[in-house]
Amino acid sequence: MNQPSKSSSSPSLRGPADHDIRDQIVAAANEHFSQYGYGKTTVSDLAKAIGFSKAYIYKFFDSKQAIGEAICANCLAEIVAAVEQAINVEDLSPTERFRRLVKTVIATGVNLFFNDRKLYDIAAFAASESWPSTQAYDAQIKRFVAQIVREGREIGEFERKTPLDETVEAIHLALRPFVNPLLLQYNLDFVEEAPTLTSNLILRSLMP
């Protein structure tokens, strides 16, 4: 067996999947990237930060971009977590759940933009290049939408004539300007009204 044990899902990773050093690299990258930005951080900087040589980094990551991917994935996972927490509350109507989904996804994204701009820039670039992390994020949000719509239909709160797939796809498309980090930055002017306006529009279209 010449091939080193690869991580379960993620590509462009090298060496043992769960390794102390890997976590150290990610931690250092998170600090450096968010402080100086992706472009101004060199791989040597990260190596120095954890007290190893640059070459050693490449035992764990395929490329600098792969490190960016990891940091970006963390970033987006936080948004997903925030949304999950917001909508997974007992005794919430699908309507209310959906409102919260929209509100939280926008608020968390905007927060990232203003309070962690350097990390946001990575996420935006990732979105522009369709990195796996971005696709996973997108898919996760879509899953949340599908879950809420399905529940709403079962309860009888939402209409059932339109194919579920079409509904979910359309909703996802309408939310894209605020879900996708690359697009969000061009829609900041609408961030105040958008949650209510868009939620209302979509919920009206879901009415039985």
Catalog residues that contact a copy of itself under the rule CB under 8 A. 128, 159, 162, 166-167, 169-171, 173-174, 176-177, 180, 182-183, 186-187, 190, 193-194, 197-198, 200-202, 204-207
Question: The dihedral of CA 159, 163, 165, 170: what is its sign?
Answer: negative
Min dist. Cβ of residue 43 to DNA (A): 4
Are 132 and 75 a contacting pair, CB within 8 Å? no
Cβ partners under 8 Å of residue 200, min gap 6 = none
Cβ partners under 8 Å of residue 199, min gap 6 = 98, 99, 102, 103
d(CA 157, CA 196): 19
Name the residue nearer to DNA (CB basis): 67 or 112. 67
Q: Pick one of DNA, a copy of itself, none as the site partner of residue 12 (Cβ within 5 to 8 A by kind).
A: none
Q: Does 53 bind DNA (CB under 7 A)?
A: yes
Q: Does 39 bind DNA (CB under 7 A)?
A: yes
From 10, 17, 58, 170, residue interacting with DNA (rule: CB under 7 A): 58
Compute how many other C-beta atoms are within 10 angstroms of the C-beta atom of residue 173: 10
Q: Does 128 bind DNA (CB under 7 A)?
A: no
Q: Does 140 bind DNA (CB under 7 A)?
A: no
